[in-house]
Amino acid sequence: MNKFAFMIHPLDVHDVARKFPLAKKLPDSLVENVFRFFPPVKASHITGVKSAYAETEGYFVGCTLTTRQMLNLPERYVLKKIIETGKLAEQLGAKILGLGATTSVVGDAGITVAKNLRIAVTTGNSYTVYTALEGTRKAAEIMGVDLAEAEVVIIGATGSIGAICARIMARETRYITLVARNLEKLEALARQIMLESGLAVSITTDVKKALSKADIVITVTSSAETIIQPEYLKPGAIVCDVARPRDVSKKVAELRDDVLIIEGGMVEVPGDVNFNFNFGYPPKLALACMAETMILALEGRFENFTLGRELTLEQVEEIGKLAKKHGFRLAGFRSFERPVEEQQIESIRQKAFANRVALRA
């Protein structure tokens, strides 16, 4: 049977402590420094991924660096650790490796990793984009927001996922604001969108200002800290948080019952899948980046698929078609690791309406 592997890593020291309780009693910096020198690990054996056309199995392989370490340690060192973990996937017999969370954005987004391995590599970003947009469209429909007339804000717009989301959204809506730290890159993306779609988009580096009018937000930065606070959002706003770690502060869930926050890229995996690993989601649910690796394994596509910073519209559309073929589908909405029920969405709609009326009074 064709096998795949997917690379995971602790997002922060809290994740380390879930596996090793002793870490809760130690300073974060000490825990990180100790685990920095740990070898890669086989975290679990994944079984039961099966579609009407094929089946596959695989492994979670773990790189022991936290998100903060991946963003702050020397790039060469981090890439070396990721490649070492990829070689463990090779030894386990995997024919394709998916790069999860921050391992997919370090350096040149998988290109160097692929050059140093004998198996195919993908970041999974194409299917992440496909499902994030699918979820955003569905959320807008349920909340009664006309996507074509909505104020859409893309945060982290100059990253690989943000840029392709913006280019696709430019075909579906009239008002887009792009947000990122680098104005030159924002201007270049705005020009590209103008050439492709004829749409003039706004650009800014000010997250708070951009969000003050936003009806729909797609946020996908590589920030290790949250960047969206409760007071930034207007009543009725829909936020699709694709970033891991999350861009939306937990305070939003605590203080704002008039906005809808959804996690981007959650899908249901076909078959009787068993991840044999608790990564915080209900049975059979996986992140879309994980699913892309499984889809390519089911399809027998052992080739580098999504690598580098330039995602293409064709890649996104192709992986969407393959996902449907093999029975992957968007999971129900989830927010801060909990399902979002229809009653909750209706409550958000009512409170958003009431708060908008109060603001106009």
Q: Which long-range contacts (CB under 8 A, 24 or more apart) does 332-340 make?
A: 333/135, 333/139, 333/260, 333/262, 333/263, 334/262, 334/263, 334/266, 334/281, 335/253, 335/260, 335/261, 335/262, 335/263, 336/246, 336/250, 336/253, 336/261, 336/263, 337/280, 337/281, 339/282, 340/260, 340/262
What pLDDT does 232 receive? 96
Residue 248 DSSP class = B
The first and second tokens of residue 252, run together, are: 């939003």
What pLDDT does 167 receive? 96
The model's pLDDT over 18-41, given as tens digits with 9 standing for 90+, comes to 777 777 777 778 888 878 888 999
What pLDDT does 260 receive? 95
pTM over 0.85: yes
Q: Which long-range contacts (CB under 8 A, 24 or more apart) does 88-93 make?
A: 88/5, 88/40, 88/41, 88/42, 88/61, 89/5, 89/7, 89/59, 89/61, 89/117, 89/119, 90/117, 90/118, 90/119, 92/3, 92/5, 92/42, 92/59, 92/61, 93/3
Strands (E) in the chain, as ranges, are 3-8, 41-50, 55-62, 96-99, 120-122, 151-155, 175-179, 202-204, 216-219, 238-241, 260-263, 266-268, 271-274, 285-287, 329-330, 334-335, 338-339
The model's pLDDT over 255-297, given as tens digits with 9 standing for 90+, comes to 999 999 998 778 999 999 999 988 778 889 999 999 999 999 9
The first and second tokens of residue 248, run together, are: 């939306």
Packing angle of the helix pair 313-326, 125-143 (nearest 10 deg) = 80
Residue 303 — φ and ψ, nearest 5°? -145, 155
Q: Please, are residues 177 and 151 in contact by the beta-carbon 8 Å criterion?
A: yes
Beta bridge partners of 120: 96
Beta bridge partners of 220: none
Whole-angstrom Cα distance, residue 279 to residue 8?
10
What pLDDT does 279 receive? 76
Question: DSSP 3-state assignment of 103?
Answer: helix
Q: Which residues of the chain have pLDDT under 50?
A: none
What pLDDT does 295 receive? 98
What pLDDT does 245 receive? 79
What pLDDT does 310 receive? 86
